[in-house]
Amino acid sequence: MPVFARLERYFEFERLGTNWRTEIVAGLTTFITMAYIVFVNPAILHEAGMPLAAVTAATCLSAAFGSFMMGVLARYPIALAPGMGLNAYFTYTVVKGMGIAWPVALGAVFVSGVAFFVLTALGIRQLILAAIPFELYAAVAAGVGLFIAFIGFRNAGLIQASSATIVTLGNLRDPHTLLAIFGLLAIAALLARRVPAAMLVGILLTTGVGAAAGLASWNPQHYSFLDLSATALKLDVRATLRLGFFEIIFVFLFIDMFDNIGTLVAVGQRAGLFDSAHAIPRVNRILYADASATIVGSLTGTSTVVSYIESAAGVAAGGRSGVTAIVTGVMFIVALFVAPVVGAIPAAATAPALIVVGSLMMTAIGEIEWKNPEVSIPAFLTMLAIPLTFSIANGLAFGFIAYAVLKVARGKFREVNWLVYVLALLFIARFAYLKGA
């Protein structure tokens, strides 16, 4: 049997209704929508005192490793990279706020990654995933869609912060905002005309227009894997354990676990990856992939590696198999050597893609039983909390707590998985702790 035929069989192309061209385009689309991390993550961790070039190399390497693991081992179209939010927590709370050296903070990331691996081996993470009421699956998918769209609106300049109304309309005369509006209409028109690779074509078209208008910058800068020597294996696990960093490790563990689960549910819902019993095939492999990626990330010199909600862009472009994630991983390797070219793609070109992906994910709300308050209220709280608190984990928390309370109020507490109550109590305790902090 030819090599390509074997690969198509391994990745189940026929069952998933996909092909090489679609998967490659989807992988490129996912990469372009999340390529900002190649520049943003190093910039944030650099403020913690970490060498910029080394963190750039670590970012690309850990993202490539995580995406390869997800694609080859788990065979899902989900890409991984150092997580936004967790990198900010690493720099501003742990290093700057607590005055802790970055090697010690990296040690905390490593310990959390090992804890992920152990929890997966013990089946605890799988139990948590299985405990999520399937009625909330659609709510998580829709909530992540709103989250992605909200980020897109912000990056496009269509909305901005306001002290009076929290958010307000952005400056529609700003050239970058006008470019984003052009990109949004272009992608929408291409999708409406069912143009193949509409998302990718729209991003590249918008980038081209931006370059012609002088809105896309190109700043050549050399990076290589040799730069890794400044951060690779520099973590100080002994100091982490000696200082008893339980609180820090717990935050890394908690946020990453539920953000990953939320992303998995959202992308899986959009791609139709769940079986008839609302279960996710090969879930163990998915969890091992992200745990391994976090460990590798800490060893190379970056904060926690997570599944990216931008993977939904690749799924929207037709990606269904692990080849999508593998292509994204390859692009992260390439990005290390052509980082200036990747950086030339302006936010105004990727922001419209995020808005369109968000709109496509809203189809999930049709699956919610809106006439049943036991389901609709937890679903609504989940959907709204994700974008408004800027956290998938918080959205899950609101949904879990409301779902548990309403089931108890209706006298149906025996119908609910016992772990739902445990998690609801943990979420309540977390909120109480955060308020007290």
Residue 250 has pLDDT above 70, yes or no: no
pLDDT given at position 68: 96
Residue 436 has pLDDT above 60, yes or no: no
Q: Where are the alpha helices (DSSP H) in 157-245?
A: 175-192, 198-212, 237-242
Three-state secondary structure call for residue 306 = strand
Instruction: Parse the chain into domains and list their residue ranges.
Output: 3-364, 369-436
Higher pLDDT, 396 or 408: 408
Give 297's pLDDT tier (boundaries 50, 70, 90): very high
Structure tokens at 333: 């390797």
Say what angle helices 52-69 and 322-337 make with each other, to 10 degrees.
Answer: 160
> Which residue is associated with the tokens 């676990």?
257
Give 199's pLDDT tier (boundaries 50, 70, 90): confident
Residue 331 has pLDDT above 90, yes or no: yes
Q: Cβ atoms within 10 A of the Cβ of 88, count? A: 16
236 and 106 Cβ atoms separated by less than 8 Å: yes
pLDDT given at position 196: 63
Residue 184 has pLDDT above 90, yes or no: yes
User: Rounded mean pLDDT of 428-437?
Assistant: 66
Residue 192 has pLDDT above 70, yes or no: yes
257-289 exposure pattern, b = at least 16 Cβ within 10 A, e = fewer: bbbbbbbbbbbbbbbebeeeeeebeebbbbbbb
Amino acid at 112: S
Higher pLDDT, 363 or 183: 183
Instruction: Give 435: exposed, middle or buried? Use CB within 10 Å, 0-12, 13-18, 19+.
Output: exposed
Residue 218: HSE in the Cβ half-sphere, 13 Å Cα cutoff: 8
Residue 133 has pLDDT above 80, yes or no: no
pLDDT given at position 51: 86
Three-state secondary structure call for residue 384 = helix
Percent of the chain with pLDDT over 70: 86
DSSP string, 90-134: IIIIIIIIT---HHHHHHHHHHHHHHHHHHHHTTHHHHHHHHS-G
Lowest mean pLDDT among 80-89, 175-184, 273-282: 273-282
Cα dihedral 285→291→294→299 (10° resolution)? -100
Highest mean pLDDT pick, 25-34, 355-364, 409-418:
25-34
Closest by CA position to 15, among listed 321, 393, 432, 368: 321
Instruction: Report the alpha-carbon distance of residue 152 to residue 311 in Å, rounded.
Output: 14
Instruction: Give 334: exposed, middle or buried? Use CB within 10 Å, 0-12, 13-18, 19+.
Output: middle
DSSP string, 53-76: HHHHHHHHHHHHHHHHHIIIII--
pLDDT given at position 332: 93
295 and 61 Cβ atoms separated by less than 8 Å: no
pLDDT digit string (tens) for 35-45? 878 877 887 78
Give 222's pLDDT tier (boundaries 50, 70, 90): low
Instruction: Give 355: exposed, middle or buried? Use CB within 10 Å, 0-12, 13-18, 19+.
Output: buried
136-169 exposure pattern, b = at least 16 Cβ within 10 A, e = fewer: bbbbbbbbbbbbbbbbbbbbbbbbeeeeeeeeee
Read off the pTM.
0.72
Q: Cβ atoms within 10 A of the Cβ of 253, count? A: 20
Kindly state the helix (H) or strand (E) to which residue 169 belongs, with its residue range. Answer: strand 166-169
User: Rounded mean pLDDT of 83-99?
Assistant: 76
pLDDT given at position 343: 56
pLDDT given at position 251: 63
Residue 216 has pLDDT above 50, yes or no: yes
Higher pLDDT, 189 or 135: 189
pLDDT given at position 169: 93
User: Rounded mean pLDDT of 191-195?
Assistant: 83
Amino acid at 381: L
Higher pLDDT, 418 or 28: 28
